[in-house]
Structure 1
Amino acid sequence: SHHVIKQTGKLNVNCLSIEAPFSIFERFGFQSGRTTDKFIDFNPLYSDNGLPFLPRYINAFMSLEVEKYVDLDTHGMFICKVTEARVMSDKDTMSYTYYQENVKPKPNTEGKKGFVCKICGYIYEGDTLPDDYICPLCKHGVVDFEPIEN
């Protein structure tokens, strides 16, 4: 996303509603657009800037245009202006707390020994987690794993 936004200078932000299932997070959050067409078989809608936005599971979206880019070494910050905004429904917005408590599947760690990914719940079974291990589901590294405590 960073690379594409830097090249095009535009982006859309979807505001997920509490109706969004975990599969939306898997599709749009745990995959790279470099290797996967996230919108395949999804029939997106398009905003005035020509970019897609989700046709369901959102209560609003915003189209943004980059006005300034700030290089923060390990990250970049886009300072944007809103060029379009639409309210799509009156459903509540999904907060991170709501996602953690109601949407994200709880990993079944009972009787297992190893490490669990804090991002997606993937379980790595083993006594030690290799320093260069990458989660096969969400592609996060060892910093996002914690030991299973039974």
Structure 2
Amino acid sequence: MDLTSLFKLSYGLYIVSSTDGEKHGGCIVNTVTQVTAEPVKLVVAVHKDNVTTSMIEKSGKFCVCVLNETAPMELIGRFGFKTSRDIDKFDGIEYKVDKNGLYYPAQEVAAVVSCNVLEKVDLGTHILFVAQACDAFTVNDQPVLTYAYYHSVKKGRTPPKASSYQKPQKKSGFKCTVCGYIYEGDTLPEDYVCPVCGVAANMFEKL
């Protein structure tokens, strides 16, 4: 089976956030889909190991943020390659609160949808949440970030816990041991900083 054929499927890139009542968290996903119009229902798949998943299960609600094309890699790295077990992902950034009391980034967001979970389905590695929207609004009319744009223009990588993750092919260069970003070249500058997760050059390993 040619798994690269799945790259032809169209995806967006979103931040899904939730809470456990004591702290707020969120993660990057590319698996948000509207499935009905009346009432508005959505589905989202989140990896079982994500802290966000347990927050959604506990609270029964989540917030979906549609990202702009201009969303910086630092924001994607914060929510996509770091864990809420170790950091407060909303610390140090501007955020707002949705109808359900959930935090979401205030910058680089095109639209926000607040959801209440109706049911969940165990998919093995992921949990599929079926939810009904209780609020939705547009923030701006900028082009939204697609997964194709993220890979082709921003040169972003897919986190191992993502639904569409595939093991990378061997390349010459240096690989970030934190997020998997690959710097192509024979020499890695000493002052180089990972554009995705922000770690220094000493956290890279030669391929």
Distance across 2 between alignment mates of 1:38 and 1:19:
19
Displacement of 1:121 after TM fit? 4.8
Distance across 2 between alignment mates of 1:76 and 1:15:
20
User: Is the 1:105–1:121 Cα contact (8 Å) retained in structure 2?
Assistant: no
From 64, 69, 83, the counterpart of 1:32: 83
Which residue of structure 1 lines up, in the alignment, with residue 181 of structure 2? 122
Alignment of 1:1-150 (within 5 A): 1-104=52-155, 113=172, 116=175, 120-123=179-182
TM-score, with structure 2 as normaliser? 0.52
User: Is the 2:175–2:182 Cα contact (8 Å) retained in structure 1?
Assistant: yes
| Structure 1 segments unaligned to the other structure (5+ residues) | 107-111, 125-136, 139-147
Displacement of 1:14 after TM fit? 0.7
User: Is the 1:64–1:84 Cα contact (8 Å) retained in structure 2?
Assistant: yes
RMSD (CA atoms): 2.8
Displacement of 1:74 after TM fit? 2.4
User: Is the 1:60–1:86 Cα contact (8 Å) retained in structure 2?
Assistant: yes
Distance across 2 between alignment mates of 1:39 and 1:48:
18
Letter aligned with residue 122 of structure 1: Y
For each residue in 1:15-60, what CA deviation from the matched residue of structure 2 results, as whole angstroms up to 9, or x when unmatched?
A: 0011101111111111111211001011310011000111010110
* Residue identity (%): 36
Aligned to 1:24, the other structure's residue is in SS state: helix
Distance across 2 between alignment mates of 1:47 and 1:105:
28
Distance across 1 between alignment mates of 2:73 and 2:155:
6
Distance across 2 between alignment mates of 1:73 and 1:103:
30
Distance across 2 between alignment mates of 1:121 and 1:30:
9
User: Is the 2:95–2:105 Cα contact (8 Å) retained in structure 1?
Assistant: yes
Moved over 4 A (4+): 112-117
- Alignment coverage as a number of residue pairs: 122
Aligned to 1:27, the other structure's residue is in SS state: helix
TM-score, with structure 1 as normaliser? 0.71
Distance across 1 between alignment mates of 2:99 and 2:80:
24
